[in-house]
Structure 1
């Protein structure tokens, strides 16, 4: 009996000590995508969005096709964004304004997943079930695997009875999507995952967005300040095209 208890205790410790690494492809527009890595180790859960944007627009092909489509993309290095997610109802992540790094605290709205679907699909070798959610103005479709017993996923998404391997915006399926391209259980890689700095000062998401809007306004005013006399400018409100189209405090 004691031997059985010891074996059970040992197995439990092995399960708790398992590391998980999931690599997602995050499609942000028709032509651009990022790599995002999810790491889960004991009580540490974080996602890292890469600082390299990959562009698939073929300018020569578009010009030779005879269409009016035109776009210009450069493979550029951006800032790496880290989402610290080992909290119940919030995410802390870093982002930048004019090169200054901010730690933003995002109190997430109540997550009400609808899991009453029979539809399944296989992603990265795992059978997944469908779920839907209304999240900050987007109708989300998710696929999650019950075989991976983690209630996390890419970006800020979590709260399902299994790991989320795909997220899509149902109203804009070509963009705003994450799909797992590899899953490593018992990951033994030597990648050092960063920890949230101790006693870090955070700014609320609302205050950060207001600060960002102020900086954009300054840039706009600086741009029109050097324009020839008589030039007419229209400063239109930018419609958000990302997965978060509106926020709780804007309703």
Structure 2
């Protein structure tokens, strides 16, 4: 495939992750999409992209459709060119707000002389210390985009493969194509209220969230936003939600940005 500046391209990566260090047999596999346009790139779960598109089309017809329950990765990452300003967009932490988290951290790659062929592309090795993990990447100058999966960027070509040394998280390019008009569009929900964070402010929020993941729900209940038939049912449901969310956080102990847990 030849690559022309200004055209749209879609790259599909497989994403492997192990969310719980105490259950390493629970390996999550998901296809992710990196869509590159002339002024930005968008990185999103393929399932989420399709689900969001279906919901948007159904909404135009007055039909309410629920999101795909099998989506594992719910964030969207947008990198704006040419400076690669990076925003992570997510509704994972709130039912009322869509978070936009700006991340201006620099990536300090170390290019290594080692080369290997992956698929049809000659690739070069690079190393990176980022977010509490050491990463090994393979990139190719034959695909002239200084981009890659997740927040990875800044190499002299597209990242074909990247994984951390513990093999807890890894991305592998599976395929690519030029974007046609009939392709599924990337949908970013604009209806929710927005909370914007610098990365530093988000770190503070995230640490508090992990200590009390049911805080927002509890506040909604106490303010009367959630109705219950009796005080007994209210207390019972609140305890259930708090228990479920604390258990979910407990099992999510091997996140991609490991230093957020420090």
Q: Normalised by the size of structure 2, how large is the TM-score?
A: 0.64
Match of 1:157 among 144, 152, 158: 152
Aligned residue in 2 for 1:215: 212
Note the C-alpha offset of 1:153. 0.5
Deviations 1:17-67 (A, max 9, x none): 221111011001243111110000111211012457xxxxxxxxxxxxxxx
Q: SS of the residue aligned with 2:212?
A: helix
- Residues 121 and 91 (structure 1), Cα distance of their counterparts in 2 relative to 1, 3 Å cut: farther
Moved over 4 A (4+): 195-201, 236-239
Note the C-alpha offset of 1:98. 5.0
- Residues 77 and 141 (structure 1), Cα distance of their counterparts in 2 relative to 1, 3 Å cut: closer
Q: Give, in whole Å, the separation in 2 of the partners of 1:121 and 1:36.
A: 22
Alignment of 1:1-40 (within 5 A): 15-29=4-18, 30=25, 31-40=27-36
Deviations 1:196-238 (A, max 9, x none): 859954134324413522433759x946x99xxxxxxxxx988
Q: Which range is displaced more, 43-52 or 199-208?
A: 199-208
Q: Is the 8 A contact 1:51 1:80 kept in 2?
A: no
Q: Is the 8 A contact 1:51 1:81 kept in 2?
A: no
Q: Is the 8 A contact 1:25 1:180 kept in 2?
A: yes
Note the C-alpha offset of 1:157. 0.7
Q: Give, in whole Å, the separation in 1 of the partners of 2:185 and 2:146.
A: 22
Q: Give, in whole Å, the separation in 2 of the partners of 1:80 and 1:24.
A: 16
Q: SS of the residue aligned with 1:85?
A: strand
- Residues 201 and 76 (structure 1), Cα distance of their counterparts in 2 relative to 1, 3 Å cut: closer
Q: Give, in whole Å, the separation in 1 of the partners of 2:109 and 2:73.
A: 31
- Where does the alignment leave 5 or more consecutive residues of structure 2 unmatched? 19-24, 49-68, 218-237, 244-248
Q: Give, in whole Å, the separation in 2 of the partners of 1:239 and 1:166.
A: 24
Aligned residue in 2 for 1:3: none
Q: Give, in whole Å, the separation in 2 of the partners of 1:150 and 1:106.
A: 21
Query: Which structure has more helix as a fraction of its residues?
Result: 2
Q: Give, in whole Å, the separation in 1 of the partners of 2:102 and 2:251.
A: 21
Aligned residue in 2 for 1:5: none
Aligned residue in 1 for 2:224: none
Match of 1:131 among 121, 126, 129: 126
Higher-Rg structure is 1
Note the C-alpha offset of 1:106. 3.5
- Alignment size in residue pairs: 201
Note the C-alpha offset of 1:160. 0.4
Deviations 1:90-140 (A, max 9, x none): 3232231253442231324221101122232314x3221111000111110
Aligned residue in 2 for 1:120: 116
Q: SS of the residue aligned with 2:142?
A: coil
